[in-house]
Amino acid sequence: MAPLTLVTGASRGIGAACVLALARAGHDLVVNYSRDAAAAASVAEQVRALGRRALVVQADVADEAAVLAMFARIDAELGPLTGLVNNAGIVAMKARLDEMDVARWQRMWAVNLTGSLLCAREAVRRMSTRHGGNGGAIVNLSSAAAKLGAPANYIDYAASKGAIDTFTLGLARELAAEGVRVNAVRPGIIDTDIHASGGDPDRARQSAGLIPMGRAGSADEVAAAILWLLSDASSYTTGSVVDVTGGR
């Protein structure tokens, strides 16, 4: 049986690159997205062109009912699940703390943190040997912002990713003897559409001077680290946070 991996937020950016890297490595894929059905369908078509199975599922990862329905479809149509990439994540417009409102924070925690815990919970219920599963691997998307704090940009986003680092460590130790490895990647500035969501579409290109390697990273470079963490090549690695930051 081919490994079966769910990538959340896979309609573009790092999630889409990850899906394609995994398909090339022989995984079947679940392509989750929230809004852009056409983009998700196009990613799935590229997976099928590589000879792998792809299931496209719309679900806002912050919506428990939608996440439960997504996992029920995976069980019914492709299962059993062997991997999860908690990639779906959002930023908000660049702001200082004294300009932010509670609604912004609630959405940020709901997608970046609750969404990751929720998808991980459902994956654990299927993959952990404690629940009769055959084991598996989870990779969470953190951010270099967790180390840097993102002052005057989005410290709320940075805080949500700091929580992801802690969640990764705790869940890794909780599951270490149950066949499920849990790791995170901490990308630096990667050239995707997420910067437009923060009101700064040229951020990746304009940030070269902040990065020791002198350039932003690509989604493919982050996907390569995720692929390794999902593979048997990292069989003794759990609770790790891998920086993919060009040295930042």
C-alpha to C-alpha distance for 44 and 25, rounded to whole angstroms? 15
The reply on whether position 206 binds ligand NAP by CB under 6 A is no
The reply on whether position 153 binds ligand NAP by CB under 6 A is no
Tokens of 245: 């930051």
87 phi and psi angles, rounded to 5 deg: -100, -30
Among 85, 90, 137, 172, binds ligand NAP (CB under 6 A): 90
Among 7, 19, 22, 34, binds ligand NAP (CB under 6 A): 34
The reply on whether position 182 binds ligand NAP by CB under 6 A is no
Q: Which of these ranges, 28-36, 46-54, 92-100, 122-130, lies near ligand NAP under the rule CB under 6 A? A: 28-36
Tokens of 196: 């437009």
Please name which of 208, 151, 187 lies closest in space to residue 15, comparing C-alpha atoms.
Answer: 187
C-alpha to C-alpha distance for 7 and 26, rounded to whole angstroms? 15
HSE of 66, CA atoms in CB hemisphere, 13 A: 13
Preceding omega of 80 cis (within 30 degrees of 0): yes
Among 3, 9, 133, 246, binds ligand NAP (CB under 6 A): 9
Among 20, 44, 56, 87, binds ligand NAP (CB under 6 A): 87
The reply on whether position 133 binds ligand NAP by CB under 6 A is no
Q: Output the smallest distance, CB 220 to ligand NAP, in A.
A: 11
The reply on whether position 14 binds ligand NAP by CB under 6 A is yes
Residues ≥6 apart with Cβ < 8 Å to 193: 12, 13, 201
Tokens of 18: 């990850």
Q: Report yes or no: 186 and 144 within 8 Å, Cβ to Cβ.
A: yes
The reply on whether position 43 binds ligand NAP by CB under 6 A is no
- In the residue annotation, 236 being an active-site residue is answered as no
The residues assigned a catalytic role are 157
Site residues (CB under 6 A) for ligand NAP? 8-15, 32-36, 60-62, 87-90, 111, 115, 141, 143, 187, 189-190, 192-194, 197
